């Protein structure tokens, strides 16, 4: 099961430097990152090559970090690629709680990462519809 690391951080200078220092010191590679602002605090979401190790390293340094199961799908990087996935999810009545994506090869493939209540159920729904889900053994090495 793939995971992302979520960090609750005060919205002030130095937060990204601290997090990236801890990860660099522990030889953990960042594959994707998002930062959401909500006033005085925010959430930093990290897709790491070693999420469990990264989360533990951040916690040891006093950072408020948690692991969250995610669904990751590989899709075509072309108009309608995400629409195909979104339609399947909506038809199954699944609510997407949070999401982000990135391009692997322009014009060829992209990855969509999202949080849902029941990760295993959504992975099965997508796989049954012919959508490739990515697991930790192929997601973290992208």
State the residue range of the domain holding 81: 71-139
For 52-79, how does the pLDDT look when each residue is reduced to its tens digit (9 = 90+)?
Answer: 999 999 999 999 999 999 999 999 899 9
Residues 17 and 50 both lie in one domain: yes
The CATH number covering residue 133 comes to 3.30.70.260
**Domain total in the chain:** 2
Cβ-based neighbour number of residue 123 at 10 Å: 21
For 33-54, how does the pLDDT look when each residue is reduced to its tens digit (9 = 90+)?
Answer: 999 888 888 999 999 999 999 9
Q: What is the pLDDT of residue 142?
A: 63
Query: What percent helix, strand, coil does the chain show, rounded to 5?
Result: 30, 40, 30
Beta-bridge partners for 66: 6
| Separation of first and last alpha carbons in the chain | 16
Least confident residue range of 42-46, 100-104, 125-129: 100-104
Domain stop point among 15, 49, 69 = 69
Residues 94 and 129 both lie in one domain: yes
DSSP 41: E
Residues 36 and 76 both lie in one domain: no
Question: How many Å apart are CA 136 and CA 62, to the nearest integer?
Answer: 26
The CATH number covering residue 61 comes to 3.30.2130.10
The 3-class secondary structure across 72-121, one letter per residue, is EEEEECCCCHHHHHHHHHHHCCCCCCEEEEEEEECCCEEEEEEECCCHHH
């Amino acid at each position: 099961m793939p995971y992302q690391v979520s960090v609750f951080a005060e919205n002030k200078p130095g937060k990204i430097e601290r997090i990236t220092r801890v990860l660099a010191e522990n030889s953990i590679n960042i594959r994707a990152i998002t930062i959401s602002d909500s006033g005085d605090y925010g959430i930093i979401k990290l897709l790491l090559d070693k999420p469990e190790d990264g989360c533990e390293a951040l916690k040891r340094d006093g950072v408020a970090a948690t692991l969250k199961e995610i669904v990751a799908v590989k899709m075509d990087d072309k108009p309608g690629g995400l629409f195909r996935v979104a339609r399947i999810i909506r038809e199954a009545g699944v609510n997407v709680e949070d999401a982000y994506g990135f391009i692997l090869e322009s014009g060829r493939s992209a990855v969509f990462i999202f949080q849902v209540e029941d990760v295993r159920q959504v992975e099965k729904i997508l796989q049954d519809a012919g959508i490739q889900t990515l697991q930790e053994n192929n997601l973290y090495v992208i």
